[in-house]
Amino acid sequence: MKYHFRTITKGVYACISLFAIVSISCKNTSKDKEITNVKQPFNLRIAQIYKDDLLRCAAYVDSIQHTENTKDLERYYLEARSLFKAVEPILAFQDVSNYTFLNAPNILKIEEEDLTNIRINDPKSFQTLEESIYANELDIQTIHGAANLITQRLKLLEKNTDLSYLKDHHILWMLRDALLRVALTGITGYDSPVLEASLSESATVYQTLKDVLMAAQTKFQDKALYEAWLTEVNQTIQVLNEGEFVSFDRFDFIKNHTNKQLTLFNKTVVDWEVKFPFTMAINNDATSVFSNTTFNTKHFTDLKNPKTGDAVVQLGQLLFNDPNLSKKGNMSCATCHHKDKAFTDGLKVSKGQKRNAPTLTYAALQQKFFYDTRAGSLEGQIVAVVTNQTEFHADLDFLLEKVKQNKVYKPLFDSIYNGKVTDFTIRNAMAEYIRSLSPFNSKFDNNINGLENTITESEKLGFNIFMGKGKCATCHFPPVFNGTIPPAYNETEVELLGVPAKNDTINAVVDADLGGFHLFGTEERKYFFKTPTVRNAALTAPYMHNGVYPELAEVVDFYNRGGGAGIGINLPLQTLPPDPLQLSIKEQQALVDFMESLTDSNL
């Protein structure tokens, strides 16, 4: 969860008004009427429902511009937000850019391409409206300004929407994206930071999925499969509507609903005889979000046809452990990344370095590398290590020559790369080894996948707190629990937490490392660091970019206090909410227990 420093009243979400704009017909009646018209082509039926909801949503947001009355602002917002969630499955799938604009967190959006192309924008999104309307003091100018831009954007979307291109594989992708978005961000409070209306909003999303399934009824050859979908979706809607944000059992929801729906999805692919033209971040045949077969690692690389397979991984492992690739012959990748420590080194900061060595487990499943995100690929990260004077202190020509001199490597490059020994094929092999370090075989994974029944009450409680009350999953997104945003996995986030220089809560001073500022000197990027995975955290102490906390319990305490703000560090752009989480001792220990359950059994 991310928002600027504001004092916010949370108790206002006592009930949702039944207010309706007179000129707009009832949403459910309209949808039912459209869906029963089975003679109309599927694409036209769905497009009409979608466009009607866009216009209704725009009308309510437009009404926000014309009032300063608190109750009216709240009423219009709640109606508009519900309709926005109704269009989310289609909008988020077919127009990622506009969906991201409309649903953006209420923090500065900074995009840095190079020194000549740095863009800094204040969001004007539904989250902007939520935080502003439910603040103790209304900023009418901000509210009206955001409402104006959102209204115009929604109207433009309605005017330019064309869903005629939708084919069966698009419909299924859209369906799957929506159910994954609910499970991985929707039920966490990620985009409802004040009202915590995540469960009811997710129920609205599932109502749209039900509408889509009903409109697609004639596509099902297996009518029992269609009925199974409706039964499952109805049960999911009921569970979400009956749930309460803090106590909701997210472990049970994912295990018994999301995974079940992925199985139904795969059966539907067969039933509809769909052939997907390509694979996105999630493999088309995934049956769980917590599996080593969930992700398509090719999505996280710019390479069109990267080498894969056991042979290239074994070659990469040899190169990873070879100290002769460094100038003095005394350092390999394994020097700072020990397998028994989940590929970290156990030091506050690595020898000769300024930062803590991050785990390489699950490193493949992100879009940015290094704490300051200065590399965009694993192959690119390796270049920085080779040329760093305090690491390999070499260059790519030296790397290439050393590999060519080693007779062990020649037959391997001959068989894998057709004899091409280049600095790139060397780096690619090392990168493929790192890409193999995402096993998803922890105790937690096995339990949520139903492979064993050993999870403790505290571990399960910890996961549910991580995903709800603790707000952890609004930055550490499941299933990787890093900062790469599901379900598209196209962006890896950075955060400003206010990490102290020393383990001191009384006289805390922010750590001197300026983080992302070093890339392009952007003032608004000072103290920002990439969000790492918490998988295998039990093996990767000490914690944070500077290794300031030796114990997981101390990390939890830091977050429970409100990050840097909670220990007296004043950074206006802190993205971590400054409000204390007010977790009990039991709840804090449960978080630790959960994170320790993410330790892989075989690396």
Q: Give the model confidence (pLDDT) of 332-377 as tens digits.
A: 999 999 999 999 999 999 999 999 999 999 999 999 999 999 999 9
Cis peptide before 486 (omega within 30 of 0): no
Are 83 and 102 within 8 A, CB to CB? Answer: no
Q: What pLDDT sits at residue 121?
A: 83
Q: Fill in the amino acid letter for 290.
A: F
406 shares its domain with 464: no
Contact assessment for residue 347 and residue 547, using Cβ atoms and an 8 Å cutoff: yes
Say if residue 149 is in the same domain as residue 239. yes
Residue 414 C-alpha from the chain's centroid: 39
CATH number, domain of 364, equals: 1.10.760.10
Q: Does any domain span residue 5?
A: no
Among 378, 411, 435, the domain-final residue is 435
CA 479 to chain centroid: 9
pLDDT of residue 41: 83
Query: Helices (DSSP H) in 483-573: which residue ranges?
Result: 517-520, 552-560
CATH code: domain of residue 199? 1.20.1420.20
Please give the full DSSP string across 362-429, using - where no structure is assigned. Answer: TTTS-S-BSTT--BSSHHHHHHHHHH-TTTT---HHHHHHHHHH-TTHHHHHHHHHTT---HHHHHHH
pLDDT on residue 113: 79
Percentage with pLDDT > 90 across the chain:
88
Residue 394 belongs to some domain of the structure: yes
Q: What integer pLDDT is reported at residue 29 of this predicted model?
A: 36
Q: Which of 89, 99, 92, 102 is nearest to 151 (CA)?
A: 102
Within-domain flag for 482: yes
pLDDT(13) > 60: no
Q: Are residues 450 and 411 in the same domain?
A: no
Same domain for 310 and 236? no
Q: Tell me the pLDDT tens digit for each residue of 89-144.
A: 999 999 999 999 999 999 988 888 777 778 888 899 999 999 999 999 999 999 99
Query: pLDDT digit string (tens) for 240-255?
Result: 999 999 999 999 999 9
Q: CA 150 to CA 138: how far, in whole Å?
A: 18
Spatial separation of the C-alpha atoms in residues 147 and 125, rounded to whole Å: 8
Three-state SS for 206-239 is HHHHHHHHHHCHHHCCCHHHHHHHHHHHHHHHHH
279 residue type, one letter: T
Same domain, 184 and 257: yes
Q: Say yes or no: 402 and 533 in one domain.
A: no
At 59 the three-state DSSP class reads helix
Task: Go through the chain and tell me how many residues it has.
Answer: 603
CB atoms within 10 A of CB 105: 21
Domain count, the chain: 3
Q: Please report whether residue 155 resides in a domain.
A: yes
Instruction: Identify each DSSP E strand in 450-530 by its residue range.
Output: 494-495, 529-530
pLDDT per residue as tens digits for the range 502-546: 999 999 999 999 999 999 999 999 999 999 999 999 999 999 999
In a domain, 2, yes or no: no
Q: Are 548 and 501 in contact (CB under 8 A)?
A: yes
Tens-place pLDDT, residues 284-323: 999 999 999 999 999 999 876 677 899 999 999 999 999 9
In a domain, 20, yes or no: no
Judgement on whether residues 376 and 349 belong to the same structural domain of the protein: yes
CA–chain centroid gap for 179, Å, is 14
Q: Is residue 95 part of a domain?
A: yes
For residue 492, give the 3-state DSSP assignment. Answer: strand
Position with higher pLDDT, 602 vs 72: 72
Range of the domain at 390: 298-435
Determine the Cα–Cα distance for residues 555 and 558; give it in Å rounded to an integer.
5
Same domain, 233 and 173: yes
232, 255, 287 - which closes a domain: 287
413 and 447 housed in the same domain: no
**Among candidates 211, 206, 173, which has minimal Cα distance to 47?**
211
Could you tell me which residues are beta bridge partners of residue 121? 109
Specify the residue for token string 């009956």.
Answer: 242
From CA 336, how far away is CA 374, in angstroms rounded? 19
Based on the fold, state whether residues 151 and 195 are members of the same structural domain: yes
- Give strand pairing partners of 8: 135
Integer Cα distance of 111 and 572 in angstroms: 19
Packing angle, helices 423-435 and 378-387, rounded to 10: 120
Tens of pLDDT, residues 254-270: 999 999 999 999 999 99
d(CA 14, CA 29): 26
Rounded to two decimals, the pTM is: 0.92
Which residues make Cβ contacts (< 8 Å) with residue 171, sequence separation at least 6?
42, 212, 216
Separation between Cα atoms, residue 229 and residue 260, nearest integer Å = 10
Computed on alpha carbons and rounded to an integer, the radius of gyration of the chain in Å comes to 25
Q: Give the ranges where 20-167 is alpha helix by DSSP (H).
A: 27-36, 42-64, 70-94, 96-102, 126-133, 140-160
On whether residue 22 sits in a domain, the answer given is no
Is residue 118 within a helix (H) or strand (E), and if so which, with residue range? strand 117-121
Is pLDDT at 430 greater than 90 in this prediction?
yes
- The whole-chain average pLDDT of the chain stands at 93
Predicted pLDDT of residue 33: 39
User: Which of 232, 253, 287 lies at the terminal end of a domain, its last residue?
Assistant: 287
On whether both 462 and 507 belong to a single domain, the answer is yes
| CB proximity list for 348: less than 8 A, separation 6 or greater | 356, 542, 546, 547, 548
382 plus 449 within the same structural domain:
no
Q: Which of 421, 472, 507, 431 is nearest to 595 (CA)?
A: 472
